Amino acid sequence: MEGRYLVNFNSKELPQHETEILIVGGGIAGLYTAWKAVEEGMRVTVLSKGTIEDSNSGRAQGGIAAALGKTDSPELHYKDTLLAGAGLCDINAVKILVNEGPSRVQELISMGANFDRYGDELAMTKEGAHSKRRILHAHGDATGAEIMRTLASQSEAQEALQILEQHFMIDFLVEDNICSGVLAYDENSGQFRVFRGKAVVLASGGAGQLYQYTTNPEVATGDGVAAAYRAGAEVMDMEFVQFHPTTLVLPEAPRFLISEAVRGEGALLRNSNGERFMTRYHGMAELAPRDIVSRAILSEMANTDQDYVYLDLTTLPRERIQKRFPTITATCSRFGLDITSELIPVAPAAHYMMGGIKTNYHGETSIAGLFACGESACQGVHGANRLASNSLLDGLVYGRRIVDAVKKYLKCNSIGSNIHFVCESMFDPAGNFTALKKELQQCMGDNVGPLRTIQRLSHALAFLNKNDWLIKHRCRTPQEMELRNMLEVGRLIAQAAMMRTESRGGHFRLDFPEAMSQWKKHIIIRR
């Protein structure tokens, strides 16, 4: 097992914690799966890298897509998802999503989630590539926060559910291709701990921090995907990274997400000359799929030699903007921008990872006992480009299916308490890890961003290979572990992008600008 784990440890010498279901990740996918498992009579422990407020889930503004409108249907939602996915969606995975999704959303409502309404009717908006207004939202533009509030309040009332915050998952404990738990670092005590479970569910989120500009929080460093890959799990579609077209570009301001729902309510994109330009790029204009809007913005930025374009809401009534987008209004105001009367400078930033750990329709990975859902998983539902607001639905639908699969798995498996791991022959190198992280983010943004070439990808892989020494690095802090994981996931993305010699969805090769029929297939990588 030389070089496989990030730290030296003897699992029998560390504090042990046993549970039935161990869930890694405290976002919507993790908390919902935990709640459903407890509802089915299981004992559950959730490990959260930071606090449950730190996840991507709470940042979701636009909403959650579900065919609940009177003129909508799962079939229409299905067609829209396939269109956005650019020919690479798993059609059965999509059918599951759109048909089971409405029940999952109704379940949230019954749990107490307060979605916005017009009278007695649910208020719905429209986003890019949707043919109907099917996006439910809460408190205007705080949908993720409302769903997280609902799940957290439900979780607190469950005696069989334990949530442990500030626990960094380092590696999975796997022997004979069976997962029996994880090694974690408890930042509260500064100790390593072994957590064992009859089944392990990974819901650790994405890897947006690989890029210099991202909508993702600091915790989104791809840890779950990296650890699963090290353990021998298959990963799929890693080349498909979605860049959100509109993030705030202001001095001293973070790349704050300006929801696609803003365009859904009528906002227009203009270049620095004040010209509306999306009508030149796609028939759906501002509501074209995200990859198309992102590339159009990058083209206009290059043509006008500017670092941003503008999002124009000024034609909408002030009261409507403030009521519908209170979070965006307040955030921009803190940086001196009044979005009701001024144009918003925006540019694309890394947002969502379509690829991840390969699973089947019940969240089962290629390692027995290890399940995955949410952004860290990939069953093919998003294809090459995720349809807006399908991500929250994905976590709910496939989290529920994991619970069904785990019930069957538990009938014939027990906690592998005798599994023993020792990893040797690592060393402590010297290095400026903070500087290296910034170099990695710059390299990924420059070379593995929305526009790729063989030269750029080769440059990225050369950088990653140069830092290959970290594979044998014995990490001493969570920050070093994060960097090790980021380098691992960055390599997977760059390798898959180099292999796919075509352009499709979120993967665009300037040297291979057309989609090719022979590439209607998935790239699966296994260590």
What is the CATH T-level fold of the domain 245-348, as seen in this structure? Flavocytochrome C3; Chain A, domain 1 (3.90.700)
pLDDT at residue number 239? 98
Provide CATH code, domain 433-525: 1.20.58.100
List the structure tokens of 492: 């997977």
Q: 3-class DSSP state for residue 211?
A: coil
pLDDT at residue number 298? 96
Residue numbers in the chain where pLDDT is lower than 50: 1-3, 422-427
Place of tokens 């400026």: 432
List the structure tokens of 114: 């307060």
Rg (CA), the chain: 22
Using H for helix, E for strand and C for coil, what is the string for 376-404? HEECCCCCCCCCCCCHHHHHHHHHHHHHH
Place of tokens 């009528």: 266
Q: List the chain domain ranges.
A: 245-348, 433-525
C-alpha 289: how far from chain center: 18
Name the pTM for this structure.
0.93
CB 288 within 8 A of CB 278: yes
Query: Quick count: other Cβ atoms within 10 Å of Cβ 434?
Result: 10
Spatial distance between the Cα atoms of 97 and 246, rounded to a whole number of angstroms:
26
pLDDT at residue number 423? 41
CB 22 within 8 A of CB 45: yes
- Catalytic residues, by residue number, are 290
pLDDT at residue number 427? 44
CA-to-CA separations, 267 to 108, 238, 284, 351, 411, in angstroms, rounded = 30, 32, 13, 20, 53
Spatial distance between the Cα atoms of 414 and 309, rounded to a whole number of angstroms:
56
Q: Do domains 245-348 and 433-525 have the same CATH topology?
A: no
pLDDT at residue number 425? 36
pLDDT at residue number 8? 58
